[in-house]
Structure 1
Amino acid sequence: MFTIAELKSNVEATVPYTYYINEFPATGADNSAYVRITGGFAPSQWTPQLRPSFQVVVRAKTTAQAETVALAIWNAYHQRRAFNIGSQRIVATFADQPIPLYLGVDDNKRALYSVNFTARFLNGVSRP
């Protein structure tokens, strides 16, 4: 299984932006996002397949900028196949919704979007 730090690094390298782990810090940048592991499906009883899910919440000073970054992340991870997060070999990732979800604005009037994905991999199979 990959760690949250490995997931953050992977997303950051794939779609450059300022990312945090699990939540926005009080002094976080206006234009930033956080990455969190959100659960997923129960482990298979018969195979080593795991299907964890993860979420990226994007915020920006404008709705257009937040939506643009969220769409870039959605496009990068929906139907992405055969890649690594840390040393974990990922079979594929799929979006959980057809488009990024608009969450509204935070207390500082920054727009928020959420993108959610499910990863598929075989536990214990690392990069070749």
Structure 2
Amino acid sequence: MFTVAELKTYVESVVPYTYYHNEFPATAVDNAAYVRIFGGFAPDRWTNVRRPSFQVVVRGKNGPTTEGIALALYDAFHKRQDYVIGSQRVVASFADQSAPLYLGLDDNNRAMYSVNFTLILLDK
């Protein structure tokens, strides 16, 4: 399995933006996102298949631009096949919803969107 740092680096290489690990630090820039890993589904009992999930929360001062980043992430990772994060082979990834979810404005009037994905991993 890959680390949050490896996931962040990979997501950043696919859709350039400023990303953080797990949450926004107090010093985060306005236009930024964070990446976190969720447990996903239980591993298959009989094979080496695992299905963890990850979330990217995107925020920004300009709502349409922020939504554009969320849509770019959606397009980049929904139905993406055969790639590597860290040293982990990812067979495929799929969005957990049909579109980025608008979370509203944060306390500083920055638009926020969430995109969530489930991965299919095949361990060696």
User: Distance between the aligned counterparts of 1:97 and 1:59, measured in 2?
Assistant: 18
- In the alignment, what sits opposite 1:52? 52
User: Distance between the aligned counterparts of 2:52 and 2:121, measured in 1?
Assistant: 9
Calculate percent identity across the aligned residue pairs. Answer: 65
Q: Quick one: which amino acid aligns to residue 101 of structure 2?
A: L
- In the alignment, what sits opposite 1:84? 84
Structure 1, gaps ≥5 residues long: none
User: Distance between the aligned counterparts of 1:27 and 1:65, measured in 2?
Assistant: 21
Q: Quick one: which amino acid aligns to residue 119 of structure 1?
A: L
3-state SS of 1:51 partner: strand
Runs (4+) off by over 4 Å: none
- In the alignment, what sits opposite 2:13? 13
Q: TM-score, normalised by structure 2?
A: 0.98
Q: Quick one: which amino acid aligns to residue 29 of structure 2?
A: A
Q: Quick one: which amino acid aligns to residue 48 of structure 1?
A: N
The alignment's C-alpha RMSD in Å is 0.6
1:87-106 counterparts in 2 under 5 A? 87-106=87-106
- In the alignment, what sits opposite 2:41? 41
3-state SS of 1:102 partner: strand
Structure 2, gaps ≥5 residues long: none
- In the alignment, what sits opposite 1:25? 25
Partner deviation per Cα, 1:65-104 (whole Å, 9 max, x = no partner): 1100000000000000000001111000000000000000
3-state SS of 1:54 partner: strand
User: Distance between the aligned counterparts of 1:26 and 1:64, measured in 2?
Assistant: 24
- In the alignment, what sits opposite 1:69? 69
Number of aligned residue pairs: give it. 124
